[in-house]
A = this chain, B = another copy of it.
Amino acid sequence: MTHYPKPMSRLIKELAKLPGIGPKTAQRLAFHLFAMPRDEVVGLATAMVEAKESLKYCDVCGHLTDESPCQVCQDSTRDRHLLCVVEEPKDVIALEKTREFKGVYHVLHGALSPLEGIGPEELTIAQLMQRLQTREINEVILACDPDMEGEATALYLAKIIKPLGIKVTRLARGLPIGGDLEYIDEVTLGKAIEGRQEL
């Protein structure tokens, strides 16, 4: 990169730090940024710094927000008896997009993974237990990812929540809509048979 003028090589170096952006992509992006109108470059730069400075995690549920409590926790129309536990803020966004869920959330910020040294203390499980003890929650929906870590986390949470006398459920397993039966993996297909519903 030493052959570039300094501001260019610096920009390429900074861009290449981002995930999934190698030196070639960084170079292409840098040339694109140079060709962009000044206003747009400033717009992007400002958006980056402002996002970094104004975003935080909600003190109540752990969701990404620019005000705490977050909009979901503030919303008086949400059902506070129904709590959905997810791994990441992205999962809250995914569930909100469905417009199916009217309860509130709890974000764990990860999943149990002994191999990566992530135990219950690394997640927001203590805060979750506190919420369950102090608030009137009737049902906890465990919406962990359908992978090994997610399953382990859900089983662990079910084991410690059930003794509180709270109903614990998890998202249905089955065929993804639009999927092709032929290409669906055996485990999913097995779960779909197991959980078959009467028409």
Interface residues, chain A, with chain B CB atoms under 8 Å away: 3-8, 10-11, 13-15, 17-20, 25, 27-34, 36, 38, 40-55, 64-67, 70-71, 89-90, 92-93, 96-97
Contact = CB atoms under 8 A, between A and B. Distances in A.
Most chain B CB neighbours (cut-off 10 Å) among A42, A55, A97: A55
Q: How many copies does the complex hold?
A: 2
Given A43-B14, A44-B14, A64 B5 contact: yes
A25 B34 contact: no
Contact of A65 (B5, B49, B93): B5
Given A33-B48, A45-B46, A48-B45, A55 B14 contact: no
A100 to B, nearest CB: 13
Contacts of A43: 14
Contacts of A50: 7, 10-11
B49 A42 contact: yes
B19 A55 contact: no
